[in-house]
Chains A and B, each alone.
Chain A
C-alpha cells in the first residue's frame, strides 16, 4: 500500500490528471481521505479516472446516481471539497445547490462533494459528459459556488474596510509586537482566497463560452 498526500488547486481537472498519471505508473486508488490517497499496485494504465462534482445534489440524488454507477460498472470514491458553504454544527448550508440539496447534513452530502470515478481502461478517454450541452451544464454547476463565494468576499471586504478595524484586534489578541495587525493578516488571507475564487470563476466562464460556440453546430 502506498500513501500519498495531495491538495489540489483545481480539484476536478487537476485531480483527474494526477490520478491518471498515477495509473500510468501502475497505481490503483484504493482509499480516499480529505488530503490522503492510498494506492495499490496494478498493471500500468489498467484503470482510468474522472472526477465529477455532485455538491449541488441532494442526498437522494447522490444515492440514485451512485446506484446507477454500480449498474454501469463504474467504481466510485466519495471525496470532500470545501468550498462556499456555511457550517452550523453538523448542518451545512449551500445556497447554490439544487432544490433539496441546500441543507446538507453530516450523514448525507457533507464531505461527499466530489465523486472520483474509476473504470477499466479501454484506450478511449473517460468523459463523464459525452455531449456539449451536458458539459456546459456541468461547468455551470461548478461555477455556482464560485459566484456565491465571490459575492461573499465582496461583502466581507466591504465590512472590513468600513467597520471599525480596532474591534478585530481586540477580538483576537493584542499584537503590539507584530508589525501586521490581525485585521491586515485576515484581509490578506481573504484577498488571496478571493483572487483564487475569481480566477477559477473566470476560467470556468471561458470554458463555458468556448463550448457554447460549438453548440450550434455540434451536439
Chain B
C-alpha cells in the first residue's frame, strides 16, 4: 500500500501542497504559493493545511527538511514517492481534460 501509486484522484489541497513543496517550504510559504498561483481562488484554512501536511508526511509523500527559528517553522520537501503521485495525478487530469475538450469542442 505504502509504495503504490494512488489510483483515486488526489484532492486539490494535496496536489497544490505537493507542488508547493518541490522546493523546501513551510506552512506560510505553502499558503502564499497557493494563493499566488491560483490568484486567490484557493485559500487554505489553517486547520486544513495543518492536517494535510501531517497526512502527507505520514504517507511519506513529503519529508521534514529542516526546523528553523526555534522549532517554529518546519520546512518540508516532496519525496520521490510524492513526485510519482503528482505525475500520476497530472496524467489523470490530462485524460479528463482531453475527454472534456473532445465533448464540449471548446478547443475548436
Contacts and interface: CB of A to CB of B under 8 A. Distances in A.
A131 B27 contact: no
Interface string A20-40: 000000000000000000000
A130 B27 CA distance: 15
A130 B42 CA distance: 9
Interface string B37-69: 000001111111111010000000000000000
B27 A68 contact: yes
Contact of B46 (A69, A133, A137, A219): A69
Contacts of A68: 27, 46, 50, 53, 74
B8 interface: no
Nearest to B42: A130
Interface of B is mostly: helix
B46 A72 contact: yes
A71 B73 contact: yes
Interface size class for chain B? 20 to 34
A147 interface: no
A78 interface: no
A126 B44 CA distance: 10
A134 B47 contact: yes
A70 B74 CA distance: 11
Contacts of B73: 71
A128 interface: yes
Contacts of A219: 11-13
A127 B49 CA distance: 11
A128 B52 CA distance: 13
B27 A129 contact: no
Contacts of A128: 45-48
Given A67-B71, A219-B13, A134 B43 contact: no
Contacts of A67: 71-72, 74
A129 B28 contact: no
B70 to A, nearest CB: 9
B31 interface: yes
A120 B48 CA distance: 19
Nearest to A76: B46
Contacts of B43: 124, 127, 130
A128 B46 CA distance: 5
A140 to B, nearest CB: 13
A191 interface: no
A92 B40 CA distance: 43
B44 A73 contact: no
A73 B74 CA distance: 14
B72 A127 contact: no
A127 B48 CA distance: 9
Interface in A36-79: 52, 65, 67-74
Nearest to B73: A71
Interface of B: 11-13, 26-28, 31, 42-51, 53, 71-74
